[in-house]
């Protein structure tokens, strides 16, 4: 049994399953921590009239009614995730139908508004981005053995490829 790595508070430790070689980034740790939704952004993420510190904050806040979302602004990303899980009155069927598109738009905005991060993402052209983790999220990522849907990784690769295409079109 491996020990869970808290990516929010530990930016240095890279767990054994996070392998960054052979055209793959497995786990968003160390120099690839900026790919994590927990990564706090200088200019934040704008979502429905509020600015949140990270993608995770905005994503979790979206589970709550608008008048209750300010509670997500001044907490850690870990606390935001906890609060998101406690959302009452959430229509799960509707949420599950829309959550991937919401995540796609938040991740796109993260890199659209942050030139330095966008450039770093584009420099990983051709790399497989695998949100490998020890916390059991096999929808957005994969487990320590690489099993899961890796939807966040897919979104990141799609966003990266869109920015690369935009940049190359501008060169002509």
| 11 within some domain | no
pTM score: 0.90
What's 40's domain CATH number?
A: 1.10.357.40
| 7 within some domain | no
| 104 within some domain | yes
Alpha-carbon span 63 to 48, nearest angstrom: 12
Residue whose structure tokens are 């767990």: 15
Residue pLDDT tens, the chain, 172 long:
455 455 554 555 788 888 777 899 999 998 999 999 999 999 999 999 999 999 999 999 999 999 999 999 999 999 999 999 999 889 999 999 999 999 999 999 999 999 999 999 999 999 999 999 999 999 999 999 999 999 999 999 999 999 999 999 876 5
29 CA to centre of own chain: 12
Domain hosting 115: range is 20-170
| 103 within some domain | yes
| 9 within some domain | no
Alpha-carbon span 50 to 61, nearest angstrom: 10
Q: How many domains does the chain have?
A: 1
| 2 within some domain | no
């Amino acid at each position: 049994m491996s020990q869970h790595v808290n990516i929010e508070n530990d930016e240095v430790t890279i767990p054994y399953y996070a392998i960054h070689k052979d055209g793959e980034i497995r786990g968003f740790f160390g120099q690839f921590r900026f790919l994590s939704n927990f990564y706090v952004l200088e200019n934040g993420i704008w979502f429905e009239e509020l600015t949140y510190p990270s993608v995770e904050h905005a994503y979790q806040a979206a589970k709550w009614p608008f008048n209750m979302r300010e509670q997500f602004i001044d907490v850690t990303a870990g606390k935001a995730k906890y609060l998101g899980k406690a959302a009452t009155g959430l229509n799960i069927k509707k949420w599950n139908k829309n959550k991937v598109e919401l995540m796609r738009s938040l991740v796109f905005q993260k890199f659209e508004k942050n030139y330095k991060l966008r450039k770093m993402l584009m420099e990983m052209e051709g790399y497989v981005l695998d949100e490998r983790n020890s916390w059991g999220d096999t929808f957005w990522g994969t487990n320590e053995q690489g099993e899961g849907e890796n939807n966040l990784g897919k979104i990141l690769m799609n966003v990266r490829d869109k920015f690369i295409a935009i940049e190359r079109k501008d060169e002509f």
